[in-house]
Each structure stands twice: as structure tokens, then as C-alpha cells.
Amino acid sequence: MATSNRPGKVVSCPACATRNRVPFTGRGRVRCSNCHADLPWLVEADDVSFDQAVASRMLVLVDVWAVWCGPCRAIAPVVEQLSRELAGRLKVVKVDADRSPVVSSRHAVTAIPTLLLYRDGAEVGRQVGAVPAAQLRAWVESALPSS
């Protein structure tokens, strides 16, 4: 698999506050370099980087959104919270529909927000439109492997 030249995003560990660079791609979990706690994994992808972003052994939640979309802005905090709460079990990939028309076309996105679940690089679930936080959480959690 090709690797991305995208630099990782720096995040603070929720357990010990150590700043860590979280990679754009990778197949396993991302952990703190100091305390080894699971880190939230949230990246932004586009037409060029999408396939690399969703190539992960863990469940990937793809949020196809747009800046001008009110419902997208309403669920964004819930999506980000899920990346924190399900760190080590979920990767979140945000895709701006306006800047990534190939991703939108390939997934037949006709309404936003569209949320896609990916496992091992393949789509395994889809939710169109904003839903209440509890419903979104339950949908994502139902797709997580039992632990």
C-alpha cells in the first residue's frame, strides 16, 4: 500500500496531555508516545487521499459534509466526540463534499451529511442526514467489533 506524504496532526493525549503526531494513514491503533493511551484519530481526506484514509483494520466513520450545510455543522461535534470516546476502536475521516466531487460521485452522495462506515477499505454502512446524537452513537457502536 502506498503511504501518504501528508503530515500527521498533532493532538494532546487525553490521559497525560503529551503532544503526539497522529499519522494520516495506518492500519492499527494510534497511541500516546508517553503513556500509550489510545488517541483520537480524526483526519481530513479528499479525492486524492480518500482510499488511503479509509484503509484501516479498525472501523472508519466517514463524514461527507460541506461548510454551508447546517445539519452538517450540527452533527460535527458529535462525530468529533465519537472519535475521542471510541479512541482505539474508531477512525474518523472528514470529507468536504464541495472540495471532493470524485468521492461524492463515487459514493452517490446526493444529500449531506452522509455518514459512511468502512471496514478494511470497504463500505459496510450508510446514514444519510443528521440524526440525534444517541442514534448516531448507537449506529456506530453497533458496527464495532465486540471486545
Q: How far is the C-alpha of 38 from the C-alpha of 88, rounded, in Å?
A: 5
Which residue in the list 13, 16, 32, 69 is annotated as catalytic? 69
69 is catalytic: yes
Which residue in the list 13, 32, 35, 72 is annotated as catalytic? 72
Rounded to 10°, the helix 70-85/133-143 angle is 50
User: 141-144 long-range CB contacts below 8 Å, 24 or more apart?
Assistant: 141/86, 143/59, 143/117, 143/119, 144/59, 144/86, 144/89, 144/90
32 is catalytic: no
Residue 90 vs residues 63, 101, 106: alpha-carbon distances, Å? 13, 25, 23
Q: Element (H or E) spanning 43, and its range?
A: strand 41-45
- Cβ(79)–Cβ(113) under 8 Å? no
**Residue numbers annotated as active site:** 69, 72
